[in-house]
Amino acid sequence: MALIVQKFGGTSVASTDRIKNVAKRVARWKAQGHNIIVVPSAMSGETNRLIALAREISTTPDPRELDVIASTGEQVTIGLLALALKEEGLKAKSYTGPQVRVLTDSTYTKARILQIDDEKIRKDLDNGYVVVVAGFQGADENGNITTLGRGGSDTSAVALAAALTADECQIYTDVDGVYTTDPRVEPKARKLDTITFEEMLEMASLGSKVLQIRSVEFAGKYKVKLRVLSSFQEEGEGTLITVEEDKPMEQPIISGIAFNRDEAKLTILGVPDRPGIAYQLLGPIADANIDVDMIIQNVAKDETTDFSFTVNRGDYAKAMEILKATSEKLGARGVLGDDKICKVSAVGVGMRSHPGIASKVSAVGVGMRSHPGIASKMFNVLGQEGINIKMITTSEIKISVVVDEKYLELAVRVLHKAFDLDKAA
Amino acid sequence: MALIVQKFGGTSVASTDRIKNVAKRVARWKAQGHNIIVVPSAMSGETNRLIALAREISTTPDPRELDVIASTGEQVTIGLLALALKEEGLKAKSYTGPQVRVLTDSTYTKARILQIDDEKIRKDLDNGYVVVVAGFQGADENGNITTLGRGGSDTSAVALAAALTADECQIYTDVDGVYTTDPRVEPKARKLDTITFEEMLEMASLGSKVLQIRSVEFAGKYKVKLRVLSSFQEEGEGTLITVEEDKPMEQPIISGIAFNRDEAKLTILGVPDRPGIAYQLLGPIADANIDVDMIIQNVAKDETTDFSFTVNRGDYAKAMEILKATSEKLGARGVLGDDKICKVSAVGVGMRSHPGIASKVSAVGVGMRSHPGIASKMFNVLGQEGINIKMITTSEIKISVVVDEKYLELAVRVLHKAFDLDKAA
């Protein structure tokens, strides 16, 4: 008998019929003797509907009140799901985040979970209840209602699994697992049986929106066994997200090809090459609440340097305006921009066992073509297709390149093939 | 500077535009230097939508979960209204019932308020906030979410006014006050400037659905000054609901004509006239959760008696079935029924100052025609129009008759005229 936390996303509970199906599924797990905690999201579309109501009243709604409004979506679902579980003949009881209680900080609309009181839940589990806990929400120390931000229900589920030392946290979603890349771009994409937390983090942040990043961090930190499964298929083991040491020996070096269409690139030319220059350039961007992704500073020549970075495409116009002002202030040679780019990344912890690959890339940049490794293979394959690489960054377990947006699908497919991802492991 | 609790019903907050109007109205009161607590209902239709969702899953939804679901309607409104108040430049903060906290018993779907913690609200008021508190809801001592039943937001408002010793509790609704009768039936109906709590109770329970009965009881008990006003008209003082001693001397005897279409009558003939017989007849009806309204037992003859009572028309078939079974069991002579009846009542505390009128009616029934009072006038007026009276009951401040449903409008109009209700007081 295991203790399992099961999280069901918005599409899984989009209608009362789907909620009934979720209840049937939970009932089958319960019948196997497991203790179950279910964490549903709001019915799909509901959170957007609620936020739209708030925006009809205020273009910049007060975040405390926004959370009061938005948290009702999950509250409706927990009640409905508890009713559906009772219809299956189970004992069931629902709790909102504040009821549990899920204690968070006071950062409305993107609060962080500080602590979960497990007393009520444990007592109910001991008495044979399936416990339904609202995802996405909690309360701060003063009892104010908070929400965890988009996708926060994943984090709620993982945090509950950690607090109750559950045997597994199952994330039911509209895909049946994590794939080597997006099957809509490369039909030969394969479902992975396992992926490490770190790979998952890189995949998620790069656009494979299966799981909320924070929930993966949380699961990694608290060693929660996390599994991604399909809500709509009964069969299949999904993808298990593991710690690295659990990986089988024959694990391929590259686990997947991630990508992000939603990028734009900005370059400032000929800025003085002196300490503090990066802060002078990026400080005003951060102050405008614009997230910067890749950052590259070229080797200096004639005491000036060129500096490039990428932002979300939606922030491009704003970022460009700010950068132009900075350019004039610093007496830079000028500003360039391109919002028709995308980012493609090869991700895999296997890179770690090839010492020097990643570090060499970051040290010597594109000059490392001679290295018989991941990076050179990547650059070579793209070059053979005539795809020009505009920027490169690396981490310990990924290599990302920026290319013209029009090459996205082609780049993903050739890399998927080059790293043998279309073949069973 | 006064402390005022303002309750806005579902139609007053039916859209974001209407919520903005409510905020503007509150802002005008606030600008006069008053401290304001606002208690909104759910947007009209929302509670029904939520309950319908629950019923899609379960025909007899668990009441605890139903309350978890239904309470979200008001939670959305408090957030939206707080946002709208902020747009008016006011400081505003919302609280759910559990947050305040509004402590109730554990009778889900029709909980009773036991206590209200006024600490947070007082502090916010002192700091210049308009405080928005969700009506209709609370939490029991274990933190379970409860609701107060239909119309419960009125009770929330009055209970808050009592807990905070507010100077006035204003109930904004879609009528501009309490009328001498329903203007849709008698266009000459007049708005009353004042009405006593007791009259209001009789008017409300008889179908003038301006205020929830329990809120009126509550206001009477805790001496809360209650005023009914229109949400949609800026002008007008509404109707003030007073304690009897505040009534002006020239108060007419009858304040209004109330009615209820939704009635059905059942009679059991020739039951043994012995102690306990009423319980034997009505016990099984109560066990089936059917509310009984009027009850009349005729004077016994030949050691048997006839026994009549009225129920909601929706319960008629069920009640008849139960009564037939009882009839067989007791060896009664038979059972009669009529679901084409209605109840019309004359209500007024002025009756009290005519000693003997009401008590005589109940003592001697229709035989009191010679008495020059309210009852005889009522029976005489109806008789002149050829309206046959089928049942009579009385209380200290009302006389009710049951007549054929087809005579309802006629009966209301002739009584309204006979008691001079169409003339200004």
Residue A79 binned pLDDT confidence (cut-offs 50, 70, 90): very high
User: Shortest CB distance from B53 goes to which of A80, A82, A94?
Assistant: A80
* A96 at B interface, C-beta within 8 A: yes
**pLDDT tens for residues A134-164?**
999 999 999 999 999 877 999 999 999 999 9
Nearest to A265 by CA among A393, A400, A411, A391: A391
* B91 at A interface, C-beta within 8 A: no
Interface test with B, best of A20, A53, A74 (most B CBs within 10 A): A53
| Chain A closest-CA separation from residue B141 CA (Å) | 12
- Whether B203 contacts B258, CB under 8 Å: yes
- Radius of gyration in angstroms for the set of CA atoms belonging to chain B, rounded to a whole number: 24
* A86 at B interface, C-beta within 8 A: yes
Q: A283 vs A362, which has greater pLDDT?
A: A283
User: Shortest CB distance from B56 goes to which of A16, A82, A96?
Assistant: A16
Rounded-to-integer distance, Cα B399 and Cα B388, Å: 15
| Chain B closest-CA separation from residue A403 CA (Å) | 44
For range A397-423, the mean pLDDT: 91
For range A294-313, the mean pLDDT: 82
| Coil, helix or strand at residue A269 | strand
Q: B299 vs A379, which has greater pLDDT?
A: A379
For range A304-310, the mean pLDDT: 87
Tell the residue number behind the tokens 């509907």, with chain if given: A49
* A40 at B interface, C-beta within 8 A: no
| Chain B closest-CA separation from residue A211 CA (Å) | 27
Q: What is the pLDDT of residue B236?
A: 82
How many Cβ pairs within 8 Å bridge chains A and B?
Answer: 105
* A66 at B interface, C-beta within 8 A: yes
Instruction: Delineate the domains of chain B, giving CATH numbers in brackets.
Output: 3-245 (3.40.1160.10), 252-420 (3.30.2130.10)
Q: What is the pLDDT of residue B361?
A: 40
| Beta carbons of A69 and B75 less than 8 Å apart | yes
Taking a contact as any Cβ pair under 8 Å apart, which residues of chain B between 105 and 134 contact chain A? none
* A72 at B interface, C-beta within 8 A: yes
* Chunked mean pLDDT (size 10), chain B, 425 residues: 94 96 96 97 95 96 97 98 98 98 94 94 97 97 92 92 95 87 89 87 67 83 91 85 64 82 91 81 88 79 84 93 93 92 87 49 33 73 90 82 94 93 76
Residue A357 binned pLDDT confidence (cut-offs 50, 70, 90): very low
* B63 at A interface, C-beta within 8 A: no
* A226 at B interface, C-beta within 8 A: no
Q: What is the pLDDT of residue A366?
A: 32
| Beta carbons of A75 and B72 less than 8 Å apart | yes
- Which of A6-10, A84-88, A378-382 is predicted least confidently? A378-382
Task: Name residues whose C-beta falls within 8 Å of residue A68's C-beta, 6 or more positions apart in sequence.
Answer: A145, B75, B78, B79, B82, B94, B96
Q: What is the pLDDT of residue A227?
A: 94
| Chain A residues touching residue B58 (CB < 8 angstroms) | 83-84, 86-87
Q: What is the 3-state secondary structure (H, E, C) of chain B?
A: CCEEEEEECHHHHCCHHHHHHHHHHHHHHHHCCCEEEEEECCCCCHHHHHHHHHHHHCCCCCHHHHHHHHCHHHHHHHHHHHHHHHHCCCCEEEECHHHHCEEECCCCCCCCEEEECCHHHHHHHHCCCEEEECCCEEECCCCCEEECCCCHHHHHHHHHHHHCCCCEEEEEECCCCCECCCCCCCCCCCECCEEEHHHHHHHHHCCCCCCCHHHHHHHHHCCCCEEEEECCCCCCCCEEEECHHHCCCCCCCCCEEEEEEEEEEEEEEEEECCCCHHHHHHHHHHHCCCCEEEEEECCCECCEEEEEEEEEHHHHHHHHHHHHHHHHHHCCCEEEEEEEEEEEEEECHHHHHCCCHHHHHHHHHHHHCCCCCHHHHHHHHHHHCCCCEEEEEEECCEEEEEEEHHHHHHHHHHHHHHCCCCCCC
| Beta carbons of A93 and B69 less than 8 Å apart | no
- Radius of gyration in angstroms for the set of CA atoms belonging to chain A, rounded to a whole number: 24
Whether pLDDT at A375 is above 50: yes
| Chain A residues touching residue B68 (CB < 8 angstroms) | 75, 78-79, 82, 94, 96
Q: What is the pLDDT of residue B212?
A: 77
Q: Which two tokens stand for residue A252?
A: 């391929």
| Chain B residues touching residue A82 (CB < 8 angstroms) | 62, 65, 68
Q: What is the pLDDT of residue B377?
A: 85
* B44 at A interface, C-beta within 8 A: no
Q: What is the pLDDT of residue B205?
A: 60
**pLDDT tens for residues A194-233?**
888 888 888 766 555 677 778 888 888 888 999 999 888 8
Q: What is the pLDDT of residue B22?
A: 96
Residue A276 binned pLDDT confidence (cut-offs 50, 70, 90): confident
Interface test with B, best of A62, A90, A108, A124 (most B CBs within 10 A): A62
| Beta carbons of B72 and A69 less than 8 Å apart | no
Q: What is the pLDDT of residue B234?
A: 79
